[in-house]
Structure 1
Amino acid sequence: MKPIINPLIHGYLDYFTVVVFLLAPSLFGLDGAAGILAYALAIIHLIMTLVTDFPLSIAKLVPFRIHGWVERIVGPVLLLTPFLFRFEGAARFFYFLIGATIIVVGLLTDYEATS
């Protein structure tokens, strides 16, 4: 599959992902561990986005290629999260959806492109 998402678009998608993680507890009714995890992932994703060497970041500390490898790990881990934490219902759906989305965006992103 040929990458079609450039670093700039990926940056916008990353900030959108942060917003999704922040809104998920309210939108999906995530409470307990599922909600806390969503907020924690919003913070972690925001920090990673802010320090990646690509457009829209503020400190270019992490090479975009490494950012891609992190996402290649995070996507599948999020797919496993409902099993690891025994999430049911909306929490299971949300973590499957966000994990699959991160995997697809990762497959479509050109992590070798320059900013």
Structure 2
Amino acid sequence: MKPINPMTHGYLDYLTVAVFLLAPKLLGFEGLPALLSWTLAGVHLALTLATDFPLGGLRWVPFWVHGWIERIVGPALVLVAFAPNFSGGGAAFGFYLLMGLGITAVSLVTDYSSETKRALTQAL
């Protein structure tokens, strides 16, 4: 059994948006690391709002698809941490490494199937 339900995952998604939005100012990045962080805040917000789960708005993206996107983005952010503009042990390196590991961990312990079961139950 996976401990994170769709509602909790939604709250974590909105927290993730806020972290991506605020990180450049709080951690002092600029240039590409800052631009990527602000872009990821917008993309993550759009995905969260479009997802079919309790805290989604438009409900266009099935929750399980949302999960697969996060399973790809998390490891990609770990790789980004080692890119030339991000590596070197600075704040951007640590931030992207931790965000990548965190998103990957949350994606592995979220119950993405519970929303699918709810949708099937309501359809019957």
Report Cα offsets for 1:17-48 as digits up to 9, x if no partner: 00000010011111100000000000000000
Q: Counterpart of 2:82 in 1: which secondary structure?
A: helix
| Percent identical residues | 54
Aligned to 1:112: 113
The answer to whether the 8 A contact 2:17-2:45 is kept is yes
Aligned to 2:122: none
Per-residue deviation, 1:85? 4.4
Unmatched runs of 5 consecutive residues or more in structure 2: 119-124
Mapping for residues 17-56 of structure 1, pairs under 5 Å: 17-56=16-55
Unmatched runs of 5 consecutive residues or more in structure 1: none
Give the letter aligned to residue 46 of structure 1: L
Residue correspondences, number: 114
Report the Cα distance in structure 1 between the residues aligned to 2:30 and 2:103, rounded to whole angstroms: 22
Q: Which has the higher contact order (CA 8 A, sep 6+)?
A: 1
Report the Cα distance in structure 1 between the residues aligned to 2:27 and 2:98, rounded to whole angstroms: 12
Quick check: which has more Rg, 1 or 2? 2
Structure 1 moving runs of 4+ over 6 Å: none
Aligned to 1:59: 58
Aligned to 1:93: 94
Report the Cα distance in structure 1 between the residues aligned to 2:59 and 2:39, rounded to whole angstroms: 22
Give the letter aligned to residue 59 of structure 1: L
Q: Give me the CA root mean square deviation.
A: 1.1
